[in-house]
Structure 1
């Protein structure tokens, strides 16, 4: 169980850079919408991030399962 605790910290450190762009673009889109400015560009980037993550997540899941079985 000691290895699991350290693995959780490592996982958090690895996931943080992947979630920061989503937070930045979502906050910018909300800021633009609250000032009645077009937020289409921010929403397009968020949609592209969603499409990319939805496309790559099955491969990442398969790789993680393969590693955990070995």
Structure 2
């Protein structure tokens, strides 16, 4: 399980930042927290969700290169 916390100075920026993580398989966890520097939102992602996402969108999978050294 992976966790991520997004911090932003206002709600509009927070929504924009969080929206960028949603297509990568991240899900919202809990509510929005208000603190002295602005707002924060916790995100969570399971490894199995990442694998499912890669199967749905094979073009998004990064191809690994191997270079043979002689």
Same fold (TM over 0.5): no
Q: Relative contact order (C-alpha < 8 Å, sep 6+): which is higher?
A: 2
When normalised by structure 1's length, the TM-score is 0.27
When normalised by structure 2's length, the TM-score is 0.27
User: Hey, which of these two has a bigger chunk of strand by percent?
Assistant: 2
User: Hey, which of these two has a bigger chunk of helix by percent?
Assistant: 1
